[in-house]
Amino acid sequence: LIMQNLEVRKFNAGDYIAKELDECLEVLFVISGRYNVGYELNNVERYRKQFGPSTIIGGFLVSFQKRFNFLYKAQTDVMCYAIRKK
């Protein structure tokens, strides 16, 4: 059932995966590529962590109806599978 509902999401290097305060409507399962997580302060973006394959974006946020607290930006081309909140 879950596999039938997965959708492919692709992000090119430099694309935003999510921005601060964006509503989280889907969970992303990262299959390939690397992305940075950071924040914006005084209109300057600062990235502190880097993640890659086998990570999940938005699992907690979808479960508890929260918005993104951080910036998620693709460092390389990123491919994900997404499952949407209904």
- 3-state SS, residue 2: helix
Rounded-to-integer distance, Cα 26 and Cα 57, Å: 9
In this prediction, residue 3 carries a pLDDT of 65
pLDDT band of 2, cuts 50, 70, 90 = low
Q: What is the pLDDT of residues 7-43, one digit of tens each?
A: 999 999 999 999 999 999 999 999 999 999 999 999 9
CB contact at 8 A, 80 and 29: yes
Task: Give the helix/strand (H/E) hosting 26.
Answer: strand 26-32
